[in-house]
Every structure is written in C-alpha cells, then in structure tokens.
Amino acid sequence: MTTQINPTPVVRVGSLAAFRVEVPPPALVRLSLTEQWRDVHAGKMIIPNKHIMLSLQGVNANGEIAWLTHGLDVHWGQNEPAFPRDRDAYQGMDKERDIVRSHLESLGYEVREGDYALPKSLLPLNGRFECVQWRRDGERIVVEPAEYQTTLAAA
C-alpha cells in the first residue's frame, strides 16, 4: 500500500508518544539534525547563536505529515560553542539523534536521513523525545537514553 502525501496538511506533535499514534510502526520515517544561525541582540551587542533542531517526520494513514521537533540555541564563539555548557548541548544534540534513531529502529521503524520540505511559514513546535533524558551533572549537561525507554517500546 502506498500512502500519498496531501499538498499541505501537517500535524505538529509535541511528543514521541503522539508521533507514534499518528505514524505507528512499521513505517518509513525521516530524521534530520539541522543548524541555523540566529543572532541574538542584547542591547547594542549581537551574540551569535546557532539553533540546532532534531526533526522527525512521517506520513500518517491520511497522507498528512506528522512532525516532531526538539530544538535549542547554542551561543557560538569564533569556531565552536562559546561556553562548556553550550559545547555539551551542541554535542548532546548529536547524541540525542543517535538515541532517537536507535529507539525508533527498535520499535520497527525504517529510519532515513532527511525531511519533507515544508513551507517556511510553518513553524515547528518544540516538543520532546521521551526516549532521551537531558540532565545536569554539576556544570555539565548529560544526554542519555531515558530509563523508561523500554516502557515506551511496549506502549
């Protein structure tokens, strides 16, 4: 059975659980990690930032694109994240992508790189991937698989 994509309808979801309701496994899904420059104005000073976004998309039975994203801003220095916490967050997004990919594959999804092109006017929700835990360890940010990951797999 081939699922056709409707011209515009997009279902923005705020959690992996909601995504799984829209696009149950087994299904082909698209996972991408992107970076975009965003300058933050602080008075007369401009602070360079990169917005890092993990995006998961799949097509539901109605031909609508289900879209889950998680993004964050990182202060940027000359060639790298400006501060240790920013470096942890930047590297954490790579780790989050790997954890999400592994979790999706364990559920039976076929995971491919990329995304479906959406109009720039369609803004993402900043949701969460429950299979990933972000926590502070002193001054560091640690990204790891969530302890209840196996519970989600059984849902």
Concatenated DSSP letters of 56-72 = EEEE-TTSPEEEEEEEE
Domain total in the chain: 1
Q: Is the pLDDT of residue 131 over 90?
A: yes
* pTM, to two decimals: 0.86
**Domain-located, residue 4:** no
Residue ranges making up the domain that contains 118: 10-154
**Domain-located, residue 3:** no
pLDDT recorded at residue 105: 98
- Per-residue model confidence as pLDDT tens digits over 80-98: 999 999 999 999 999 999 9
Pairwise CA distance, residues 97 & 103, whole Å: 10
**Domain-located, residue 87:** yes
**Domain-located, residue 48:** yes
Q: In terms of pLDDT, which residue wins out, 40 or 110? A: 110
**Domain-located, residue 127:** yes
**Domain-located, residue 118:** yes
- Per-residue model confidence as pLDDT tens digits over 109-121: 999 999 999 988 8
